[in-house]
Amino acid sequence: MAITWFRAVLLASICCVVTALPGAAQSVFEPDVRLWPDIGASFVLPPGWTADEGAGQLWAPDRTALCGMQTAAVAFATASDLADWMTAYTAEQFAAQGVEQVVVEKRDVATPSGRTGVAVLVDIRNGGRSQRVFHMRGGIAHLVDCECLASDWDRLADSFRTIQSSYDID
């Protein structure tokens, strides 16, 4: 299903971020709404971030963080089942390299249009941190995985939240 121009404008109006500091002027950014018609998805790209849509990768301005977007046909019935399997699978892959992965948080999320999903935050005990957001649509899994060094997480968390909370599937 194609994402309509109306829906993109609606998403942009919902996701516009206004930041105000006490005693400072307000700064507003126009949301950079990106449409990926081949996968029927849209998202907001934070200011300064770049997108390599062919590779499904979004990069922070200083290249210290990456969000990857992937879709695949899967046999899972729910996003929760997919998240559980993927979390266990990546833990096994890291363990084979002598690296531990620890789940910090698992919670339910929703797209702007109300499609439910699951977010899993993991610490990778080699200094990394990753938040993976899983959604399902008609047997197609949608994964948005944002990652960086754990020491950079607090600095990048708002950008990750912008990307992952604006990701929508038509």
Residue 27 confidence (pLDDT) above 70: no
HSE-up (13 A, CA, CB side) for residue 29? 14
* The pLDDT value given to residue 56: 86
CATH fold of 5-169: Protein Transport Mog1p; Chain A (3.40.1000)
Residue type, 2: A
> CA nearest 121: which of 166, 157, 155?
157
The angle subtended at Cα 59 by Cα 55 and Cα 63, nearest 5°, is 125
114-159 residue pLDDT tens: 999 999 999 999 999 999 999 999 899 999 999 999 999 999 999 9
Asked if 59 and 50 touch (Cβ cutoff 8 Å), the reply is yes
* The pLDDT value given to residue 8: 31
Q: How confident is the model at residue 18 (pLDDT cuts 50, 70, 90)?
A: very low
Residue 5 confidence (pLDDT) above 80: no
pLDDT mean across residues, the chain: 83
* The pLDDT value given to residue 130: 96
What mean pLDDT do residues 4-24 have? Answer: 30
